[in-house]
Structure 1
Amino acid sequence: MSEIIWTESQVIEHWPKRDPASHKGDHGKAGIIAGSETMPGAAALCAAAAVQSGAGLTSVNTVRSVIPVVAAYVPESTFYHRDDDLNEFLDGKDAVAAGPGIGRLSDDVIEDLIANFEGPLVIDADGLYHLNRHEVMIRKRTAPLIITPHTGEMARILGKDIEYVNANRSKAAGNLAADYGIFVVLKGQNTIVADPDGALWINPTGNAGLAKGGSGDVLTGMILAFLGRYKAVQPAVSSAVYMHGYAADCLVKQGEAIESVTASKVIQSISASFSNLIN
């Protein structure tokens, strides 16, 4: 398996330029299925990250009690109630992310998405809990599927222990991506993006401040927004991973204590990070 560092110059090379005459529909219609009564913040963080990362339209599918929480945090979002028809929510979406904070009883939603959504699909967090139940459908799927496990989630998917994954990160990510025909974002120090051909793209950015609840929700929102703006999946995913870490690095360089880096602060750093690198 080849391992390639995804560098600053590659991020800049692949960065999509906005047409001055473009409209909101030109920059990705993003759908987020996230949040539950006990985890409203996951939906809020994911949606805010998508909006800050350039998604043209961001719609959140969640439970009724979560809607005012997310609306207060991300007024740019629109909403769809979880109990309503899923296909209606998916209609017209360029990319969808599912899993942050939805709880482990929502596996039927994940199954439906894998089988029926024909655009790029990002699955994270609770959405990964029973992923290997859907192996047959995943192999049949033709549209891009991106999963974003941390080490523990990866171990569950593989049926291995965490020690195995830590000792074999590249092998684990590359083999799973090639076997299932998907993109695997194995989070951690030097996050790995593995593509369906088994190629590995290594991320050099980020710091230990990201080892905190909510960081993965932000990354999922960023990946979703980048998928809606880019023509190719791998540069979109690798650049989103890079900028997620870069935003956290900028916070520390600006004097933020590494212990005090939070997911919300990373979202607040996205705009300046984009400007620093791209403009």
Structure 2
Amino acid sequence: MFMQNIKVSFTSKKDWLKLKKPNPNSHKGENGILLVIAGSKKYFGAVFFAIEAAIRFCDLVYVYSPENKKFLEKLKLQPHIILINKNELKKTLNLADAILIGPGMDLNKKTKNLVNQVLKLKKPCVLDAAAIKLANKNLFSDKTILTPHKKEFFDAFSLKPSLSNIYFMAKKYNTNIILKGREDIICNSKECKINKTGNVGLTKGGTGDCLAGLLSALLATGNDPFLAASAAAFLNGFSADLLKKKYSIYYNTFELTQNLAIAAALIEKNKK
């Protein structure tokens, strides 16, 4: 389907089934190393939701978060993450296969410098929340994925978040954009996809962090950014739709993160 000379299609479970699967003979760390840079003294739940979503879909998750003693102490109790300090950041940036930056971070110069430092590496990365607004757009690449909602898109580009505007910004900066909404719009410089999975329960806080964590894990495992974005949007919404059958719209974000693996297994079990 073409809309205003833009190639447009819809996400489906086929996107998920196209993703790379771990080699049966692989070892720890060979199926994705992810670095999550997120959180602040005020907003630390974003880190938790992103981690919970990511850890099921890649081998190792490193976490760098600004000082919040109470929260960091709790993070240390999570056996499935590796918490790093400022002195270890440079080494981990080089080690990581993909980077997620932005969830829950403050809008300040320190965050801006860190975001642009990440972009200069030209590694697969996901920019969420504050990182989208603060990033130097000239540093975007085809390995970058932005995950704005409508207001964040407008704040970043001063444009109405229409399909054509999302596509033209993705094309202008040779990058990938997921516009989160009732129907997610996913664009790169060549085409767009519309994702129809999901329901109004996804308006709850933290569901975007869940999507960002899932998406960045798929990037870390070596998937094409546009495919990873399409598959992540589909699975995040599909997981929510499964929860709706059980809880109506009264599920929470933690339940969403825990249900992602169940949703993925269901897709893979019913391939046809």
Please show how residues 1-279 of structure 1 align to structure 2 within 5 Å.
Answer: 1-12=6-17, 14-52=18-56, 54-64=57-67, 65=69, 66-72=71-77, 74-81=78-85, 83-84=86-87, 86-105=89-108, 106-115=111-120, 117-131=121-135, 134-138=136-140, 141=141, 144-160=143-159, 164-165=160-161, 169-197=162-190, 199-253=191-245, 255-258=246-249, 260-279=250-269
Gap regions ≥5 residues in structure 2: 1-5
Structure 1 distance, partners of 2:103, 2:127, is 8
Distance apart, 1:9 and its partner CA = 2.7
**What's the offset of the Cα at 1:85?**
5.5
Paired residues in the alignment total 260
Q: CA deviation at 1:55?
A: 1.0
3-state SS of the aligned residue for 1:184?
Answer: strand
Contact 1:46-1:218 within 8 A present in 2 as well = yes
Paired amino acid for 2:262? A
In the alignment, which residue of structure 1 is the partner of 2:3?
A: none
Query: What TM-score comes out, normalization by structure 1 length?
Result: 0.88
1:233 deviates by: 1.8
Distance 2:233 2:119 in 1: 23
Contact 1:42/1:100 (<8 A) preserved:
yes
Instruction: Provide TM-score, normalisation by structure 2.
Output: 0.90
Deviations 1:48-69 (A, max 9, x none): 11002x1111000112423223
Structure number with higher helix proportion = 1
For 1:153 and 1:231, the matched residues in 2 are separated by 26
| Bigger RCO of structures 1 and 2 (CA < 8 A, at least 6 apart) | 2
Distance in 1 separating the partners of 2:47 and 2:211:
12
Structure 1: give runs of 5+ residues left out of the alignment: none
Q: Is the 8 A contact 1:6 1:201 kept in 2?
A: yes
Identical aligned residues as a percent: 25
Which whole-Å CA distance do the structure 2 matches of 1:69 and 1:187 have between them? 30
Q: Is the 8 A contact 1:40 1:69 kept in 2?
A: no
C-alpha distance in structure 2 between counterparts of 1:250 and 1:127, whole Å = 31
Partner SS for 1:67: helix
C-alpha distance in structure 1 between counterparts of 2:263 and 2:40, whole Å: 30
- Give the Cα–Cα distance (whole angstroms) in 2 for the partners of residues 273 and 156 of structure 1: 33
1:52-98 superposed Cα distances (whole Å, 9 cap, x missing partner): 2x1111000112423223344x42000112x3364222021100000
Is the CA contact 2:125–2:219 (under 8 Å) kept in the aligned structure 1?
no
Q: Is residue 15–residue 230 contact of structure 2 (8 Å, CA) maintained in 1?
A: no
Higher deviation after alignment, 98-107 or 223-232: 223-232
CA contact (8 A) 2:97 2:221 kept: no
What is the letter of the counterpart of residue 146 of structure 1? I
Q: Conserved in 2, the CA contact under 8 Å of 1:40 and 1:70?
A: no
Report the Cα offset of residue 263 of structure 1.
Answer: 1.4
